[in-house]
Structure 1
Amino acid sequence: MSRILEKIYHHAKMTPEHIALRGYSRNHGSTSITYSDLVRRIERIAAQLQNLGGHCIGLRAENSVGWALIDLAAMRAEIPIVPIPTFFSNKQVEHIISESSVDLLIGEWQEMFELEDQVSQIEALPVYRLYAAGTTSRLPNTIKITFTSGSTGTPKGVCLSEENLFRVSSSLISALNVDVKRHLVLLPLSTLLENITGIYVPLMLGVTSFIFQGEHVGLTGSSQFDPQAFTKALATYQPNSLVLTPALLMALIQVVKANPIFAESLRFVAVGGARVAPEIMAAAHALGIPAYEGYGLSECASVVALNTPNKVKHGSCGAPLEHIEIKVADDGELLVKGNQALGYLGHPFDQEWLETGDLGQVDEQGFVHILGRKKNQIITSYGRNISPEWIESQAQVFVPGLKLLVVGEAQTSLSAIVEPFDNIVEHIHELNATLPDYACIKRLIITNNLGTCSHWYTENGRPKRDVIEIWANQLLLGEEIDSSHQLIELK
């Protein structure tokens, strides 16, 4: 049996009536499951999965208690599972199914495919059989395959072992050392970070994880946010821990500014997914929000570095977890050793140090600082190397929530593409006053289309930098100017 499950089964013996999972159930609408019942249901579902004879499960569903049960049962049955985000496109999902050789589909599939071969139902989720063609590219000992959307939009499958998942989960528990009794799941469980922090870590600790559909807690898909639902969830469940994106942290800051009581139950708020300006982290702490930035990679089973209450430096993404080593290559790229995944589908990892693709620094105290993606780096015509993520995150200090994209490849200076915003010129001047001269924004491209240019973004909202740079260059050359765009030169 996996060591993650051994921990859960231990709690079922020691505290059988303690609530393990509480939240949305497709069967009952709302449910609470004790640790003793959790173990019984894991065993029952694992037997169902084994009887179905599948070799790889594709799970596509909104967050629910059933999602967690199926994930744990697949681990118990030792059947690899592929969590698939509901916001991935049909083309991406077809690629995932083919690459992983999935032969059992569980969940919300009818809207994507015309499936008639329903063979069972688990936790009120239909189960369909597929007949995978060709040979599998899954690596030996794979228990979970997580797909990253990538900057091109073509997902890449990372094969993870139970050892990978246990190591990162146990290291997080060791690093936190915080009294947490209630974790509220906000991000999709198909996201590896929340899969680990919303299921494995709480259950290994013997505490309660609250799992509801995204719309119930304020987050739908990858980026649709409802502040009222978010606030109501905080008031109702009074969580001790959350995992947030930078955008959700900004929302939490506004909620707590309006009513400080919402910070009182919080003990640890992890923030990841993109760089956060140190001023924003400091503002969160000033409001009593215990927010701590981290950094992770799917290729290392998620978290590799994290700030904690005992070791924190705003502006960094923390110190490496106990099972991780980090160093910086000559060209500034971060290299990571420890807990490497088995590899990509069909391509096992054999290198000692994993190339992360991220530019960064490690300071004298051992804190890791992320500067941006290596492939996103802008090189101006004066030969200055600039990470756009640095400036974009710093801009949130002056224009919170504003969509802003920095461009300037091979140009004499940088430009920012922004949506219309009151006093935007003054705000950008304030931003520029905090930046070195070579990183200052010298022109604004104001467009009404920033939020609707879907071809500028991947399915999970990451900008396609090369596409945006081409568009900006055409505009600056006078090829794209129309009434929906305004160009402002800054002095």
Structure 2
Amino acid sequence: MNKILKAIESNAVSKPRQIAFRGQNHIGDVQSISYFELNKEVDMVANLFLAMQAKCIALRADNSLDWLVIDLAAMKAKVCLVPVPTFFTDQQVEHTLAESGADVLVGDWKDKVDPITCIRNMPIYLYASGNERRYLPETSKITFTSGSTGSPKGVCLSEQNIENVSLALAKSMEADQVCHLSLLPLSTLLENVTSIYVPILLGITSQIYKSETLGLTGSSQLNVKAFAEALVQFQPNSMVLVPAILMALIQLVSREPALSDSLKFVAVGGARVAPELIEQAHQLGIPAYEGYGLSEFASVVSLNTENHSKAGTSGRLLPHVEAKLSEENELLIKGNSALGYINEPFTDEWFATGDLASIDSEGYVTIEGRKKNQIISGFGRNISPEWVESRAQVFLPECPMVVTGDAEASLTAIVGAGKAIEERIERLNQTLPDYARIKNLLIVSDMSARKEWFTSNGRPKRKHIESWASCIHKQYIADPLVTAKTVKTQFEYSEI
């Protein structure tokens, strides 16, 4: 039995009445679960999975206390679990089920088959995927990335992978933190680890509420007023944020300083964070610390903490991880690497991350950027601009388009002029998952006039285009080729 499950049993004996998790169940009722009750519930559901002879469980549901019990029960029953993000498109969901070969579905699957039973408010379905098991031996969890294209990639993680990173993070936390708030979707590996496993190892209380209660919709939309109200009500000591939500928190605290009073540790990851943003947070009393991680290493690889922090870096490596740079300054990592991708075991000693980086003499890692063109949004979603651009050809065949938005809260499309551009962009957005939709639109009257934007064979020079788009957004300088601008921001601070 791994140390996470042992901690549940130990806490159930040493402090049975201590609240392990507080929040909402799957149907929205507010409840609490003590460590004694958690141990009992996990055992009961694990026995159910064993009786069903479940091999691979796909869990699709909003955050809830029921979600975490299903997750821990699958771990105890040694059944592979596949968390399925609720913001995946139908095509991505079908791909996930087909790739994993899931035989049991738990949660929101009304469109599939009729449920056979219900456990902890969660419907359970038997499912015939038609595929044999393709995940690797010893796989405890398959985490599917949001996908840089329409087909997410499944990372096979062992129980040991998950235990290693959870223990390392628990050791890095301050002892006086007694109340964590889960904000991001639990289907996100980082949130899964930091909101369930780490609090159990620390023996503290974690608060798990539905996304709407906290102001979150989908993967990248935030109701700032609801978020502020949640901070007042739940008084968390710790949270994990993506950069876009950190920016919202900074705006909130700048107006209502008391909102940060309870905070002792705020980890920020999922995308690059500007050093100025971290500095601004600290000046406002927000203890924000940047980290870096990969699904291929069970989430966190490096982290800044209160005692070991350097602005502009992603912190020091966790103890079980080693890193070095290639000749091209690509970050290479080993230690706690995943088993591999579905049907594709890792065999190399060092894993090439695809990130350009530097490592200073004190061991602090700085991520410089992606080796290729992949965009990582401010909400931590991986997006290939070529994917969105190719989808746009269906709706705007006569209009060239280039997509930008690395580390931003939303994507920007620079597009040639044409009829009903905005309407056609909206139609395009309906075919994309929410994190890959175009929210900012710059219409250029004649993109062909920008010779410096394209190579001789017509391929976009992305750095030139991104630089121009950044100037437009930051300075709003009038440009003779810009005939229209539509900027739909993720956060409406004026509503507060």
| TM bracket, shorter-chain basis | 0.7 to 0.9
Task: Find out whether 1:304 has 2:278 as its counterpart.
Answer: no
Q: For residues 355-394 of structure 1, what are the structure 2 equivalents within 5 Å? A: 355-376=352-373
Q: Distance in 1 between matches of 2:50 and 2:446?
A: 54
Residue equivalent to 1:36 = 36
Instruction: Pick closer, same or farther for the CA change 1:231–1:198 going to 2, 3 Å.
Output: same
Q: Distance in 1 between matches of 2:251 and 2:276?
A: 15
Q: Distance in 1 between matches of 2:446 and 2:298?
A: 36
Residue equivalent to 1:187 = 184
Q: Tell me the SS of whatever aligns to 2:116.
A: strand
Q: Tell me the SS of whatever aligns to 2:149.
A: coil
The Cα of 1:170 is off from its aligned counterpart by 0.4
Paired residue type of 2:347: D
Q: Distance in 2 between matches of 1:254 and 1:461?
A: 22
Instruction: Pick closer, same or farther for the CA change 1:98–1:37 going to 2, 3 Å.
Output: same
Q: Tell me the SS of whatever aligns to 2:54.
A: coil
Q: Distance in 1 between matches of 2:94 and 2:287?
A: 40
The Cα of 1:125 is off from its aligned counterpart by 1.3
Aligned residues between the structures: 422
Residue equivalent to 1:440 = none
Q: Is the 8 A contact 2:445 2:483 kept in 1?
A: no
The Cα of 1:237 is off from its aligned counterpart by 0.8
- Give the alignment's Cα RMSD to 1 decimal: 3.1
Residue equivalent to 1:83 = 83
Instruction: Pick closer, same or farther for the CA change 1:219–1:450 going to 2, 3 Å.
Output: farther
Residue equivalent to 1:338 = 335
Instruction: Pick closer, same or farther for the CA change 1:104–1:312 going to 2, 3 Å.
Output: same
Q: Distance in 1 between matches of 2:307 and 2:97?
A: 43
Task: Find out whether 1:318 has 2:292 as its counterpart.
Answer: no
Q: Deviations over 1:288-346 (max 9, x none)?
A: 10000000000000000000001101111111001111111111110011100010000
Residue equivalent to 1:243 = 240
Residue equivalent to 2:16 = 16
Q: Deviations over 1:338-374 (max 9, x none)?
A: 1000100001111111011111111122111111111
Q: Deviations over 1:366-399 (max 9, x none)?
A: 111111111128xxxxxxxxxx87xx98xxxxxx
Q: Distance in 2 between matches of 1:298 and 1:307?
A: 19
Instruction: Pick closer, same or farther for the CA change 1:269–1:287 going to 2, 3 Å.
Output: same
The Cα of 1:54 is off from its aligned counterpart by 1.5
Q: Is the 8 A contact 2:26 2:67 kept in 1?
A: no
Q: For residues 59-458 of structure 1, what are the structure 2 equivalents within 5 Å? A: 59-110=59-110, 113-116=111-114, 118-376=115-373, 452=426
Paired residue type of 1:142: T
Paired residue type of 1:459: P
Q: Tell me the SS of whatever aligns to 2:372.
A: helix
The Cα of 1:135 is off from its aligned counterpart by 2.3
The Cα of 1:134 is off from its aligned counterpart by 3.3
Q: Tell me the SS of whatever aligns to 2:32.
A: strand
Q: Tell me the SS of whatever aligns to 1:150.
A: coil
Q: Which moved more, 1:159-168 or 1:364-373?
A: 364-373
Q: Deviations over 1:243-285 (max 9, x none)?
A: 0010100011111111111111101000011111101100000
Q: Distance in 1 between matches of 2:42 and 2:104?
A: 18
Q: Distance in 1 between matches of 2:423 and 2:231?
A: 33
Residue equivalent to 2:492 = none
The Cα of 1:132 is off from its aligned counterpart by 3.1
Q: Is the 8 A contact 2:26 2:62 kept in 1?
A: no
The Cα of 1:115 is off from its aligned counterpart by 1.6
Q: Distance in 2 between matches of 1:445 and 1:17?
A: 63
Q: Deviations over 1:29-69 (max 9, x none)?
A: 01011000100000011111112221100000000000000
Structure 1 length normalisation: TM-score?
Answer: 0.80
Instruction: Pick closer, same or farther for the CA change 1:29–1:159 going to 2, 3 Å.
Output: same
Q: Distance in 1 between matches of 2:26 and 2:311?
A: 41
Paired residue type of 2:94: E
Paired residue type of 2:164: R
Q: Tell me the SS of whatever aligns to 1:230.
A: helix
Q: Distance in 2 between matches of 1:304 and 1:80?
A: 23
Q: Distance in 1 between matches of 2:445 and 2:92?
A: 25
Q: Tell me the SS of whatever aligns to 1:461.
A: helix
Q: Distance in 1 between matches of 2:100 and 2:415?
A: 44
Q: Deviations over 1:85-129 (max 9, x none)?
A: 00000000101101100000100112xx2423x211111111111
Q: Which moved more, 1:192-201 or 1:144-153?
A: 144-153
Instruction: Pick closer, same or farther for the CA change 1:472–1:293 going to 2, 3 Å.
Output: farther
Q: Is the 8 A contact 2:333 2:352 kept in 1?
A: yes
Unaligned runs of 5+ in 1: 378-387, 394-404, 406-414, 419-442, 487-491
Q: Tell me the SS of whatever aligns to 2:331.
A: strand
Q: Is the 8 A contact 1:294 1:305 kept in 2?
A: yes
Instruction: Pick closer, same or farther for the CA change 1:103–1:317 going to 2, 3 Å.
Output: same
Q: Distance in 1 between matches of 2:267 and 2:445?
A: 35
Q: Deviations over 1:403-458 (max 9, x none)?
A: xx9xxxxxxxxx9979xxxxxxxxxxxxxxxxxxxxxxxx9999978995856997
Q: Which moved more, 1:47-56 or 1:181-190?
A: 47-56
Task: Find out whether 1:54 has 2:28 as its counterpart.
Answer: no
Q: Tell me the SS of whatever aligns to 1:375.
A: coil
Identity %: 47
Match of 1:459 among 402, 417, 433: 433
Paired residue type of 1:4: I
Unaligned runs of 5+ in 2: 379-384, 386-401, 406-413, 459-480, 487-496
Instruction: Pick closer, same or farther for the CA change 1:28–1:260 going to 2, 3 Å.
Output: closer
The Cα of 1:7 is off from its aligned counterpart by 1.3
Q: Is the 8 A contact 2:416 2:447 kept in 1?
A: no
Paired residue type of 1:19: I
Instruction: Pick closer, same or farther for the CA change 1:457–1:243 going to 2, 3 Å.
Output: farther
